[in-house]
Homo-oligomer: A and B are copies of this chain.
C-alpha cells in the first residue's frame, strides 16, 4: 500500500509488509483464506472495520495483486473479492502468527487441517541438508549467493 512504505530497506520481509503490514490487511486475508469470505459485507461484519478503510484496503489488495475483483451481478460496485495465487500463498504467514499466538497467548479457536486426510498441518522450519526440523535458535541468515541475473 502506498504511503506506508519502508524506504531504504533492502529486505523481502519489509517489501511484503509494505503490501500487507497496514492495520486490518492480514485479517482480511485471514477471512478470505480460511472463511472463504468474498464480499465487502462479510469482511465488514467480521471485523467491524470502518467502511472507508475497508474500501481502501480491498482496493489496495486488488492493486497489489493479492485479490481479484469479480463483478457478479448487474452492479459494477457489487464485486466478489477472490484471492489470487499470490494472495493464497500468504497462508503460511497467517499460520505462523496463529501458531505463535496459540503457544504464547493461549490456544485459539481453530486448528489447521489437511483437506485430503484431515491431518494436522504445522509449519516447520526444516533443513534441506540434514532433512531435520530446526530449532529457531539455530537459524541464521547469510547473503544470497550471487549468480547470473
Which residues of chain A have a CB within 8 Å of any CB of chain B? 4, 6-17, 21, 23, 26-27, 30, 34-35, 47-48, 86, 88-130, 134, 136-145
- Which single residue of chain B is at the shortest CB-CB distance from A137? B88
Instruction: Apart from A12-B102, A121-B126, list 7 A-B contacts with CB within 8 A.
Output: A12-B99, A12-B107, A13-B97, A21-B21, A92-B123, A114-B127, A123-B125
- Residue of B whose beta carbon sits closest to that of A114: B127
Q: Is A139 touching B113 in the complex (CB atoms < 8 A)? A: yes
A121 vs chain B, min Cβ distance (A): 5
Q: Are B141 and A110 in contact (CB under 8 A)?
A: yes
Q: Is the interface of A mostly helix, strand, loop or mixed?
A: mixed
Inter-chain contact B97/A93, CB cutoff 8 Å: yes
